[in-house]
Structure 1
């Protein structure tokens, strides 16, 4: 950074006022158009949309805003997720027209000073991010792979029938009725996962209100041999699919989970195939998913199902942080 360049002011906000929220989201769109990859995760976008009057005690993030002048447009933004105080995570984005002017470096230095144990996402593993993080002595501690497979044309074969173990049946998710059961199974299935296992009811409801949400594409496998006093069968596994309304040709294996009590019975593969069949039935031509780069078992399963790596996000942290 140039010693002659004035350091930009960085505002820390628990929630974004409406106009600032709009500016931040517009900034993210400009950066995505320039870089070819979205700079912010879905969770961060949802946090940025939550206005101060709708934010509540479940809020566990800090917004960092850099303006062009005192009341000018937003030219830099950062979000720090503090839900795990021992290992916060962050994302940074700078307006493409304002780069190489010290904004990204100032945001990064601010985050590192305030949260020394922070881990920082670089979506798409862009060269500018590599250079910036390396200049502060940060190293890659995690890779998140995006994998893809065709659902139309050559190499798109799927089995006509998916067999479930005896006593198990598949149905569509019931909003409201299934929420608590799903949260419990999700927490058990992803107990060791850095983000997914901490999904809250507010997080779930945020997604249920998104335009892409479709309960018919949220498949639940239940154990019809184990029914509670209210007549509800136990949830054993699920496959939540996602199709963006503005990109209906691409669908996502959004979340696949199996209750630990039902693991080892082939349910992961079966429920994944059920979701892929649903995606193809609604006209999706390509399916994508995200998986940690060190999850060899999951990667091998997805490769057997025809998925190949198509992109990668990386996470950086200080050099003495354990991966």
Structure 2
């Protein structure tokens, strides 16, 4: 078992190994160990140019036989160089309780003082490791769910203000307008508010992307061109048997339009789209201390189903 030096890009073999490790860990734990952005970073190959608006994350790997063709990745950590830095760690289920996770966490803490570490699902082993290293919870990210079919699945009617209309996102036309409203809507958000054109393009190129599920609400009042007031970006992942999961991916309202009921309206529009896709359940993620959003989602029938916890050293 040997830690490899941290790097901005994984080698193709390592990228494939980490991707397979993530699948094994997800099947074992029932929760995905890495965020979507980290998975995109894992896939980025060494010969791909770094976009000018991107800040590459850092990869840390533990392998059984480093440098060899048949080397197997036993553990992986990713550090996002944000302010403060944030990290995620995953260990092969067959090699846990052998010091792999602790070695990765120790390296992350030493190289990135003040780092905050995500524990997706907040599983008992993660809580024990955090406690052993003196880490304490500093943020909760709730996953919430509500039914789209059967009892308790009724959705309210959608009432848009006069002069407002909804349409699907148009690739090649709406990127900059959406990025501007997204940044304004999530100015205080740790991740969503700093999404770049590269981040958006990466997601547009994902197999799950569907512009018809990326709903834009525009204000057509006034003499000028329509103005983007709010949006609901849904995410539907599928298998060969059809859609498997539906997510309220991002809901945003331009601050100039807040207080007019657009948040609820665009949320319901997206839920109706997910139901039309044949999904039985909708999920979403929201910060546990975002009381206005939690109240809105509770009123729409969402209940907490899982929680991700961010840990940090006391005082960090």
Q: Bin the TM-score by the shorter chain.
A: over 0.9
1:303 corresponds to which of 298, 307, 313: 298
Note the alpha carbon deviations across 1:104-148, whole angstroms, 9 max, x for none. Answer: 001000000011110000000011111111101000000000000
Q: For residues 104 and 55 of structure 1, do their structure 2 counterparts lie closer, same or farther at Cα, with a shift above 3 Å needed?
A: farther
1:266 corresponds to which of 261, 266, 273: 261
1:290 corresponds to which of 285, 292, 308: 285
1 CA distance for matches of 2:248 and 2:203? 15
1:155 corresponds to which of 152, 155, 159: 152
**Unpaired segments of 5 or more residues in structure 1?**
1-6
Note the alpha carbon deviations across 1:154-211, whole angstroms, 9 max, x for none. Answer: 100013x311011111000001100000000000000000000010101000000111
Q: Matched residue of 1:80: which SS?
A: strand
- Displacement of 1:19: 1.5
Q: How does 1:53-202 map to 2 (within 5 A)?
A: 53-56=47-50, 57=52, 58-70=54-66, 71=68, 72-82=71-81, 84=82, 86-159=83-156, 161-202=157-198
1 CA distance for matches of 2:63 and 2:278? 42
- Displacement of 1:9: 2.1
Note the alpha carbon deviations across 1:230-265, whole angstroms, 9 max, x for none. Answer: xx4111000000000227142100000000000010
Q: 1:219, 1:238 within 8 Å by CA — same for their partners in 2?
A: yes
Q: Matched residue of 1:110: which SS?
A: helix
Q: 2:3, 2:60 within 8 Å by CA — same for their partners in 1?
A: no
2:270 corresponds to which of 266, 275, 279: 275
Q: Matched residue of 1:244: which SS?
A: strand
- Displacement of 1:227: 6.0
1:29 aligns with 2:62: no
Q: 1:242, 1:254 within 8 Å by CA — same for their partners in 2?
A: yes
Q: TM-score, normalised by structure 1?
A: 0.93
1:255 aligns with 250
1:46 corresponds to which of 22, 28, 40: 40
2 CA distance for matches of 1:67 and 1:137? 26
1:243 aligns with 236
Q: 1:8, 1:106 within 8 Å by CA — same for their partners in 2?
A: no
Q: 1:10, 1:107 within 8 Å by CA — same for their partners in 2?
A: no
1 CA distance for matches of 2:4 and 2:124? 24
Q: TM-score, normalised by structure 2?
A: 0.95
Q: For residues 55 and 97 of structure 1, do their structure 2 counterparts lie closer, same or farther at Cα, with a shift above 3 Å needed?
A: farther
- Displacement of 1:60: 2.7
**Unpaired segments of 5 or more residues in structure 2?**
none
- Displacement of 1:101: 1.0
1 CA distance for matches of 2:36 and 2:5? 22
1:213 aligns with 2:209: yes
Q: Matched residue of 1:108: which SS?
A: helix
- Displacement of 1:18: 1.5
Question: How many residues end up aligned between the 2 structures?
Answer: 309
1:314 aligns with 2:313: no
Q: 1:223, 1:236 within 8 Å by CA — same for their partners in 2?
A: yes
CA RMSD of aligned residues (A): 1.2
1 CA distance for matches of 2:118 and 2:214? 28
Q: 2:215, 2:233 within 8 Å by CA — same for their partners in 1?
A: yes
Q: 1:185, 1:258 within 8 Å by CA — same for their partners in 2?
A: yes
Q: Matched residue of 2:103: which SS?
A: helix
